[in-house]
Amino acid sequence: MKKTEFLTGSFIALTLVVLLGVFFFQALFQPSYEGKVMPIDNVNLKDRVSLHYVLKNVNDASKYLATNGMRYFNNRSSVPSKTITFGKTKNLEEGSANEVTSIVVNYRGFDTLGEVTVLFISIIGLTMLIGGVKEKKLRMPSVIVRTGSKFLFPFILLFGVYIFIHGHLTPGGGFPGGAVIASGFLLLLLGLENFKFNTTVSKVIESLAGVTFVGIGLVGLFMKNSFLANFIPTGTIGFLYSAGMVALIYIVVGIKVGAELSTGVAELKEGNKND
Amino acid sequence: MISSIFFYSTAFVLFLIGLFGVLTRKNIIKILVSLSITETAVNLFLVTVGYIKNGKAPILTNTIGSIGMNNLKFVDPLPQALVLTAIVIGLGTTALSLVIAIKLYKNYGTLNITKMGGKR
């Protein structure tokens, strides 16, 4: 009885999945849509909104749209732009060499504030729910793990800090850097059995970092009339001291995410004491 | 150069595998793994939307030199920024759901969703 029920259930699920798959793939191989050829393999960046993010002329583009109206959509390329050279071009409207960072932190900085808030809430939920789960005795770690974790921890911390300080120049940024720092703390928690992670201190650090993020946004509001607007000169593209507040915000996000994920990992290992 | 149809197909297949897992598995941990696979598929789909043939990673470096209106060498950076957000939120939801799974296991002594509920 149970077996046949399971089999019929699987069969129905498989039929559903196959039907959905046929639907997906016929959409992929449809040659045209409303008379236009689907640009699956010959996408041009000039047809995309990201053109202005890449060329860093978003303000010019919005001015152009305000004066020319709908004509903008057919000739995006006529918005004034200049050639950007690594290490030479100065005082762009946004100065980070990493385009993804420029979108995440500068053009869509408010999005990132929301994202950090979601992570914060999920870690709060984790801390609340984990209460009552008692700590299990773990097996004692071997000598290699004990010495290795002590030896490696400062280097992991340094690597995490390097990743989030160079977030506007290289791949990475606040979130990967924070995750690396949390992995260093995880190594300590697993390697040293009498290592106590102080969650109160980490929560204070995390809250201060969050307040600093909002504070930077408010400074932008008072100086440039827009929340999270860039109020520091952007400098030369490709240098460490460039990109204005992008580097500042990524440092704050790195500290916040590192403290947050370390708290989560420590709570998962130790359970909650105030149960 | 690989056609982006390959990436789209991979994303669809991964999505369907994840959906099948969510629909048929009984173990909570396996359902969460399937959900993660679905999430990865959606992220891969979004990144593929921004894929441009012969495009480079959207980071200005010394070897790339300069970009301008007439030499755009990059892939589309906007979907990558969206996926960065999606990955972090996926991490948060996965951590929270795993904790809920731990609590359910403590409460009912099983991870099988058909045996949960009713008396303890």
Collect all residues of chain A within an 8 Å Cβ-Cβ radius of residue B105: none
Among A99, A136, A163, A263, pick the best mutation site for testing chain B contact (most B Cβ within 10 A).
A99
Among A12, A17, A270, pick the best mutation site for testing chain B contact (most B Cβ within 10 A).
A17
**Residue-range definition of the domain harbouring residue A22:** 3-33+95-270
Q: What is the pLDDT of residue A238?
A: 81
Q: What is the pLDDT of residue B34?
A: 94
pLDDT, tens digit (0-9, with 9 covering 90-100), for B106-118: 888 888 888 887 6
Q: What is the pLDDT of residue B20?
A: 92
Collect the ranges in chain A with pLDDT lower than 50. Answer: 274-275
The shortest CB-CB distance from B88 to any of A9, A53, A175 is to: A175
A75 at the B interface (CB within 8 A)?
no
How far is residue A97 from each of residues B55, B65, B102, measured CA to CA in Å? 16, 11, 43
Give the separation between CA A240 and CA A174, rounded to whole angstroms. Answer: 15
Between residues 8 and 37 of chain B, which touch chain A (CB distance below 8 Å)?
A: 8-9, 12-13, 15-16, 19-20, 23-24
- Is there a domain that residue A86 lies in? no
Vertex A225 angle, CA A76 and A255, to 5°: 90
- Is there a domain that residue A49 lies in? no
Distance from CA of A78 to the nearest CA of B (A): 9
- Is there a domain that residue A172 lies in? yes
Q: What is the pLDDT of residue A275?
A: 44
ipTM for the complex shown: 0.84
pLDDT, tens digit (0-9, with 9 covering 90-100), for B22-56: 998 889 999 999 999 999 999 999 998 888 888 88
Distance from CA of A225 to the nearest CA of B (A): 25
**Residue-range definition of the domain harbouring residue B78:** 4-115
**Higher local confidence (pLDDT), B41 or B74:** B41
pTM value is 0.86
- Is there a domain that residue A61 lies in? no
Q: What is the pLDDT of residue B57?
A: 86
CATH code: domain of residue B53: 1.10.287.3510
Residue A90, helix vs strand vs coil: strand
- The tally of domains found in chain B comes to 1
